[in-house]
Chains A and B, each alone.
Chain A
Amino acid sequence: MKTTDISAPEYFHKVVDCQWACPAHTPVPEYIRLISAGRYSDAYMINWKSNVFPGILGRTCDRPCEPACRRVRVEDEPVAICRLKRVAADYKDDITARLPQPAKIKNGKKIALVGGGPASLTVARDLAPLGYQCTVFDGDPKAGGMIRTQIPKFRLPDSVIDEECGYILGLGVEFRGGTRIDSMKALLAQDYDAIFVGSGAPRGRDLDIPGRKEAAANIHIGIDWLSSVSFGHINKISRRVVVLGGGNTAMDCCRSARRLGGEQVDVVVRSGFEEMKASPWEKEDAQHEGIPIHNYLVPTEFTHANGKLTGITFEKVKAEKDEKGRRKLVPSGEPDQHFECDDVLVAVGQENAFPWIENDCGIEFDQWHMPKVDPVTFRSTHPKVFFGGDAAFGPKNIIWAVAHGHEAAVSIDKMLNGEDIADRPQPAVEVMSQKMGIHEWSYDNEIALDQRYKVPLRDKVIALKDIKAEVELGFDQKLGFKEAGRCLNCDVQTVFTSSLCIECDACVDICPMDCITFTPNGEEMDLRRRLTAPSINLTQDLYVQDGLKTGRVMVKDEDVCLHCGLCAERCPTGAWDMQKFFIDMTHAGTKCRPPRRSAA
């Protein structure tokens, strides 16, 4: 193998599994260390810069970082990264003085943002301080989009949404609530220099089976129902409720129903429990509240009498693999099952809908009626129109919308400065030794054996009575400190300098995970077979350095390295050093544009 080029920003970035997995590349270990140090405001600001909504995401994020966490491969359970973000948000001081100031001098460029959700707000956050005049349009009276309408208040209180949307609107962003954009043509005709569409995936999929029309009064589309609950238009539901669907919306529906009078609430999914789209912790939360989840049942008919819903009939199915190895649901042959109920919530998926974008305004759509959007620049086929969030590539999560927003803002900023938007800015990277003394490092390198701490919950009886009572109480400072101690500091990298190495094997002997091997070089698969410990996780890189006196190479398997620094402590010559890798994604602003040559 070739000697590893650690100057390429991706190499060490991939070692920080959580940050690499996060669409917005939030510097997770950095903010967790700040939480350990009690520096909640600093931890919050690192999050705020990167993911814009720390308090909101600290309660609702889909956490792509957690399954990626190295701790999963080392013991079992990841660090509770998401809930630690909430700790930063809960215990920070007033951070308003640290926020960017509204631009004193406007640059004269006007941006229209369609939809007031996370994608649009991120674009506005990035562009407004630069002097852009940003106007956000939303059909709802308050900013937040799906964050406000679809996430139940017992998971995310309004106060948190108000606070974090307020930080953005306070940057001089104009918010026009209650203003639904009905025509892209009309919008294009106005003098906006760029338009960003962040209108989400606002249409809940319906279920067209017999009885749908007749029993319509008691059949509700999940996201519309949640939205009505959110705005207080609906405040009760019947005693027996069936929720159809296995995603996170279904989990929000059943738990909301439980609080609005639903005593017997059942969730029914077509496929297996394991295959449900809902996050495992959301399924757990629903079950914790006494909501059974029934699987392998396909709805075939809404039963009704005298214009009133009486229940739903389901066909029992089982999963089989066809000749091509694809998983298919086939009738199991057992008799149909009937669930009696008074109300049904249909949460079987969401769709994009752009009835307001005219066919002839220059924005092309693909065969699935989705706009053709460049996945890097987020530009549509119209040079001035950009898409992001669910509106761009279908339903995903808030953190994806934020990531899209940052990139779209970079594109808009570059475009309006006359630059090629396909030329993307590099991240800023800093690598710095953490050595303080002979066995002293500027990070806590002792490995905590603690198992993942559980977030305290509000008493179930009280929680189920009030739809606005937040169920999760969040970690207190003590628990937050303990959980933060579980982080392995994967951003503190093991950096090897061959010219200093005397090949004494001290690092090989001390490494608790047997990550390090000195061996003759070879091709990757050959090398992996010859390492000290089995090397079977091919998604994790081998760190290879040549230039040793014996002609061998140093090979370190990054897979389960604890970043404990013992290799560096035991190294007599300083060939190993622990260096903190900090990667800062480049957002809109002067940094994203290459320096211009001066006129002289």
Chain B
Amino acid sequence: MTYLAKPKFHHPDLPKNALGFTHRDYEGTVSTLCAGCGHDSITASIIQACFELSIEPHRVAKISGIGCSSKTPTYFLGNSHGFNSVHGRMPSVLTGANLANRDLIYLGVSGDGDSASIGLGQFAHCLRRGVNMVYIVENNGVYGLTKGQFSATADRGSKSKRGFVNTDNSIDLAAMALQLGASFVARSFSGDKHQLVPIIKAAIAHRGAAFIDIISPCVAFNNHPGSTKSFDFVREHNEAVNRLDFISSRMPIEIDYQPGTVEIVTQHDGSRLALRKIGADYDPTDRTAAMGFLQQQAAKGQIVTGLLYVHPDSEDLHAHLRTAEAPLNSLGEKDLCPGSAVLDKINAGLR
């Protein structure tokens, strides 16, 4: 960490987005995490994604639980709404907020402890319901705030900083998300912003539950030989299934890709995902194949990254529940108290 605030000066020729903001305008206060923490790179990627999408900061709600990862919303989007909730309970708070105001962009920020241990149930049900959100897990495989014990996502056989070998099986949150019906599932690496930023942009544009598992090395407790979440290990075993270019609905599509190497997926809002294939002939719209591929590669010790699965015509919780189309805070007295005739009708329907 640093005690200094980041100087207000910025590069004189920084690009500006459609709102006239530079990426510096999407920052929060300076990070208090350990120097070199992968989480800070994820913070920078979220800043870059929101800048590039020209998102108005007041349209975003950042919700988090407890842990190093859950501190990070302080460090980005300093002019957005935020809620730092109870350990593992981010999904519930986010679901409630989303039901009350469906017009905001929801960023749920959590960690492997917050989502895979204490909040595993919350994680599961939130995805299962298809809440419209971006659910980010900053996954470092250890409990950093309590000095580096294995977390539930630490791989069996990996070594702690002090040399202990993990004997428990690990939870693969991306695989779980696929099984639970998340309509957008990706995995990335904090050390690869070229991959991560377009994934975050695509997830923000996605309708429904978008889950991103981001491997984020803990420099203090999990970046040693024997760790499977270290910079070196992830770089050596990273198997990207595709490279994503995010093309918003406002941009003309300019494709100079080789035919047959790119798959275009159009999302409900008109945004397009240009997926350049790498290596295996991977189909990101085939959920069951994705689940199988993930298992096979995990068995080989490979870390599969990229956009693993996307359901282009996904629905969200509001569609399932047929809720009011406007945020609750915009409903007037007439909408909320439609009169006794309406009440009678409802009562009659229940008899």
Contact = CB atoms under 8 A, between A and B. Distances in A.
A566 B36 CA distance: 12
A509 B44 contact: yes
Q: How large is the interface on B (under 10, 10 to 19, 20 to 34, 35 or more residues)?
A: 35 or more
B4 A564 contact: yes
A149 B56 CA distance: 64
A407 interface: no
A505 interface: yes
A533 B7 contact: no
B42 to A, nearest CB: 10
Scoring A446, A449, A570 by chain B CB atoms within 10 A of each residue's CB, the highest score goes to A570
Contact of B13 (A447, A504, A534, A564): A534
Contacts of A536: 13
A512 B7 contact: yes
B10 A512 contact: yes
Given A502-B231, A513-B9, A564-B4, A508 B35 contact: no
B351 interface: no
A572 B220 CA distance: 8
Contact of A572 (B31, B34, B190): B34
Contact of B11 (A505, A513, A549): A513
B2 A508 contact: no
Interface in A501-527: 502-506, 508-510, 512-515
A550 B10 CA distance: 29
A439 B36 contact: no
Contacts of A513: 9-11
Contacts of B40: 505-506, 509-510, 570
B51 to A, nearest CB: 12
Contact of A570 (B2, B8, B38, B191): B2
Q: Is the interface of A mostly helix, strand, loop or mixed?
A: loop
A569 B7 contact: no
A175 B8 CA distance: 55
B35 A572 contact: yes
Contacts of A509: 40-41, 43-44
B6 interface: yes
B300 to A, nearest CB: 22
Contacts of B12: 73-74, 560
Contacts of A549: 232, 235
Interface string B1-32: 11110111111111100000000100000110
A550 B6 CA distance: 29
A335 to B, nearest CB: 46
Given A446-B4, A508-B44, A509-B43, A502 B36 contact: yes
B9 A74 contact: yes
Given A73-B12, A506-B36, A570-B36, A512 B6 contact: yes
A564 B7 contact: yes
Contacts of A550: 235
A553 interface: no
Contacts of A197: none
Nearest to A447: B7
A549 B12 CA distance: 32
Interface in A541-559: 549-550
A548 B267 CA distance: 39
Given A446-B4, A566-B2, A514 B11 contact: yes
Contacts of B2: 439, 510, 566, 569-570
A505 B42 CA distance: 10
B236 to A, nearest CB: 10
B217 interface: yes
Interface in A283-329: none
A571 interface: yes
A552 B15 CA distance: 25
A569 B4 contact: yes
Contacts of B11: 513-515, 533-534, 560
B156 interface: no
A75 B40 CA distance: 27
B310 interface: no
B223 interface: yes
A573 B9 contact: no
A569 B33 CA distance: 12
A434 interface: no
A503 B236 CA distance: 14
Contacts of A449: 7-9
27 contacts: A73-B12, A439-B2, A445-B4, A446-B4, A446-B7, A449-B8, A449-B9, A502-B36, A504-B37, A504-B38, A506-B35, A506-B36, A506-B40, A508-B44, A509-B44, A510-B40, A512-B7, A515-B11, A533-B11, A534-B11, A534-B13, A549-B235, A562-B7, A564-B7, A566-B4, A570-B40, A572-B219
Given A502-B36, A560-B12, A564-B4, 7 more contacts: A439-B1, A449-B7, A502-B219, A504-B219, A534-B14, A550-B235, A562-B9
Which 5 pairs show the lowest CB-CB distances between chains A and B?
Answer: A572-B36, A447-B7, A509-B44, A533-B11, A534-B13
